[in-house]
Amino acid sequence: MRKPKVAFITGITGQDGSYLAEFLLKKGYKVVGLVRRTTSIRRANISHLLGKVAIEFGDLLDFHTIEAVIRKYQPDEVYNLAAQSVPADSWSHPIYTGEITALGVTRTLEAVRSAKPDAKFYQGSSREVFGGAKHRVCNEETPFLANNPYGVAKVYGHLITRTYRESYDMFACGGILFNHESPRRGLHFVTRKISMGVACIKLGIKSPPLNETGEPLVKEGKLTLGNLDAKRDWGYAKEYVEAMWLMLQKKQPTDYVIATNTLYSVRDFCKIAFGHVNLHWKDHVESHEKFKRPTEITASRGDYAKAKKELGWKPRISFKELVELMVAADLKRLSSSG
């Protein structure tokens, strides 16, 4: 019998890491995940995978823990998905963001180079690298103009990945992914704030989860957001992790943009989300300065033509379906938790 391929995922407890682990398990991989050591290991996104994936403790701050895992398991593929991944938090945590989201990539690449140099490496790059670019549609050739500490760290991560590819002949790819969401998205992101807010309001939840400023997400039937005019190219995370794997199956490593090439506003998201439960968004949504950002990125769409041509990848579900499945999942989650 052929030995199963081994994949190592940093950030396995996150949205993408957990979906990718499920996807790779279905493909017959042995999956190893890096988890940050904490005093309690309650990890909602991977609780159903415990026993099916190997968990190793480590941190992107700590080169030795990453290298030891790679040396032990000799993975065929390494997916670096761990990051301080919240752009909004990167203004208040610029140095930490640089340590994890930028230098953490070099630590992981160095660990691969030292312990399993022929492993294929995927870097979780972001559309934030384009930042304030003038382009309304961005592709792999669009210049990087990151304009927040997270985006700047992602530029570093992307370019160091390319540098290792060119300097050491490593198989290293950067997936420049536009925003992608799901019921596993963190509550600090606007889509999940809205879907959870809708569910709390619809079900009349008395003690809602806390928002990013530590206040109840919903107060007196109101959900407070920031800039309702902000626009994003939003896709479905479950589809995006497939693109990561496809990139590592190619003969030659290169970088790809993954996106839907559509653009919607936060207001559009609210309209569909509240409408799905027969409520009107205007009755429940407020906008407050404290959730607005010092700079916004340009409202740009992603051109995924290269991924479509070379990987055979394209987005499948619509924006409306995405919003509705997120709202439905939060309604279900809250209903079953009593």
What residue ranges bind ligand GDP (CB under 6 A)? 87-88, 179, 188-191, 193, 225-227, 230, 232, 266, 291, 293, 296
Residues 88-107 that bind ligand NDP (CB under 6 A): 100
From the list ligand NDP, ligand GDP, none, which binds 13 (C-beta under 5 to 8 Å, kind-based)?
ligand NDP
The owner of tokens 């906008």 is 287
Q: Least separation, in Å, of the C-beta of 55 and ligand NDP?
A: 12
Instruction: Give the C-alpha separation, 320 to 247, whole Å.
Output: 28
The minimum distance between CB 161 and ligand NDP, in angstroms, equals 12
From ligand GDP, ligand NDP, none, which one binds at residue 226 (CB under 5 to 8 Å depending on kind)?
ligand GDP
Is 120 or 193 the residue whose CB approaches ligand GDP more closely?
Answer: 193
**How would you class 17 by CB atoms within 10 Å of its CB: exposed for 0-12, middle for 13-18, buried for 19 or more?**
buried
CA separation for the pair 276, 271 (Å, rounded) = 8
Return the one option of ligand GDP, ligand NDP, none that residue 162 interacts with (CB less than 5 to 8 A, by type).
Answer: none
Q: In what helix (H) or strand (E) does residue 239 lie, and over which residues does it extend?
A: helix 237-248
For ligand NDP, the closer CB: 126 or 224: 126
Q: Which helix (H) or strand (E) holds 174?
A: strand 172-177
126 is catalytic: yes
Separation of alpha carbons 234 and 232, rounded Å: 6
Question: Of residues 117-136, which lie at the interface with ligand NDP (CB under 6 A)?
Answer: 124, 126
User: Tokens standing for 202?
Assistant: 């619809």
| 4-63 positions binding ligand NDP, by CB under 6 A | 10-11, 13-17, 34, 36, 59-61
Question: Of 90, 126, 182, 195, which residue is the catalytic one?
Answer: 126
DSSP string, 212-234: TTSSBSEETTEEEES-TT-EE--
Q: Which of residues 157-216 bind ligand NDP (CB under 6 A)?
A: 177, 179-180, 186
Q: Tell me the window of 78-86, 196-204, 207-215, 268-276 that interacts with ligand NDP (CB under 6 A).
A: 78-86
Provide the β-strand partners of residue 131: none
Cβ proximity to ligand GDP, 177 vs 331, nearer residue: 177
Closest CB to ligand NDP among residues 201, 307:
307
Q: How far is the CB of 1 from ligand GDP (least distance, A)?
A: 43
- Phi-psi map region of 313: left, alpha, beta (phi>0 left; psi -120 to 50 alpha): beta
Rg of the chain over all Cα atoms, to the nearest angstrom: 20
The residue nearest ligand NDP at its CB is 14
Greatest Cα pair distance, the chain, in angstroms, is 61
> For residues 69 and 105, which CB has a smaller minimum distance to ligand GDP in the complex?
105
Q: Which of 19, 79, 150, 164 is catalytic?
A: 150
Least Cβ distance, residue 188 to ligand GDP (angstroms):
6
- Catalytic residue check, 128: yes
How many Å apart are CA 53 and CA 24, to the nearest integer? Answer: 10
What is the Cα–Cα distance from 31 to 24, expressed in whole angstroms?
A: 7
Strands 264-265 and 231-232: antiparallel
- 260 forms part of the interface with ligand NDP (CB under 6 A): no
CB 333 within 8 A of CB 183: yes
Q: Return d(Cα 318, Cα 297) in angstroms, integer.
A: 23
Q: Which residues are catalytic?
A: 126, 128, 150
The residues binding ligand NDP (CB under 6 A) are 10-11, 13-17, 34, 36, 59-61, 81-85, 100, 124, 126, 177, 179-180, 186
